[in-house]
Amino acid sequence: MSAAAPALPVSRPRGLTRGVVRAVALAELRRILRNPVLWAGAALSVWMMWSVVPDPDEWAGASYEEIAVSVTPLLLVISLVTAVSFHRERVEVAPDAPVREGTRAIARLVAALPLVGIAVAYAGLLAWRQRDRGGLWLGVEPGRTTEALFTAGELAQPVALAVLAVAVGAVLGRRLPHLVSVVPLLFVVWFLVSVYWLFGHEVVTPFSVLQVQPVRVHAGPATADPLGFPAHWLLEGPGEFSGQWSRVFVSNALGWWHAVWLLGLSAVVGAFAVPKGRTRRWMLAAGSVVAAVGVVAQYAVLP
Partner 1 sequence: MTITPLAQAARPTSRSIRWSPLVGVAAVLVIVLLVARTAQRPSDVVMAIAAAALASVVVASLHDPATDLLAPVPVSVMQRRLLRLALVLVPALLVWVALVVVAPPSLEATSPGPLLAMTAVGVAAGVWSPARRAVLVGASVPVLWFALDMTVPSDVLLGDAAGWWRTDPWPVAAVALGALVAGRRR
- How many angstroms separate the CA atoms of 157 and 163, rounded? 10
Q: Does 152 bind partner 1 (CB under 8 A)?
A: no
For 5-41, letters b (16+ CB in 10 Å) and e give eeeeeeeeeeeeeeebbeebbeebbeebeeeeebeeb
- How many angstroms separate the CA atoms of 4 and 206, rounded? 62
Binding mask 237-276 for partner 1 (x = CB under 8 A): ----x-----------------------------------
Q: Does 183 bind partner 1 (CB under 8 A)?
A: yes
Residue from the set 73, 139, 153, 169 that interacts with partner 1 by CB under 8 A: 73
C-beta of 93: minimal distance to partner 1 in Å? 19
Peptide bond preceding 142: is omega within 30 degrees of 0, i.e. cis? Answer: yes
C-beta of 14: minimal distance to partner 1 in Å? 39
C-beta of 109: minimal distance to partner 1 in Å? 23
Peptide bond preceding 214: is omega within 30 degrees of 0, i.e. cis? Answer: yes
Q: Does 187 bind partner 1 (CB under 8 A)?
A: yes
C-beta of 259: minimal distance to partner 1 in Å? 22
Q: Does 125 bind partner 1 (CB under 8 A)?
A: no
C-beta of 121: minimal distance to partner 1 in Å? 20
- How many angstroms separate the CA atoms of 242 and 94, rounded? 60
Residue from the set 13, 184, 228, 230 that interacts with partner 1 by CB under 8 A: 184
| Nearer to partner 1 (CB atom), residue 84 or residue 148 | 84
Binding mask 27-46 for partner 1 (x = CB under 8 A): -----------------x--
C-beta of 258: minimal distance to partner 1 in Å? 18
> What's the angle, vertex CA 167, arms to CA 165 and CA 172, rounded to 5?
95
Q: Does 145 bind partner 1 (CB under 8 A)?
A: no
| Nearer to partner 1 (CB atom), residue 25 or residue 32 | 32
Name beta bridge partners: 218. 246
C-beta of 177: minimal distance to partner 1 in Å? 7
Residue from the set 18, 23, 31, 51 that interacts with partner 1 by CB under 8 A: 51
| Span 212-241, contacts to partner 1 by CB under 8 A | 241
Q: Does 62 bind partner 1 (CB under 8 A)?
A: no
CB distance 212 to 196 below 8 Å: yes
CA-wise closest residue to 215 among 228, 231, 230, 233: 233
Cα 99 to chain center, whole Å? 30
Q: Does 188 bind partner 1 (CB under 8 A)?
A: yes
Integer CA distances (angstroms), 232 to 135, 152, 237, 293, in order: 20, 21, 16, 28
Q: Which residues bind partner 1 (CB under 8 A)?
A: 44, 47-48, 51, 73, 76, 176-181, 183-185, 187-189, 191-192, 195, 197-199, 201, 204, 241
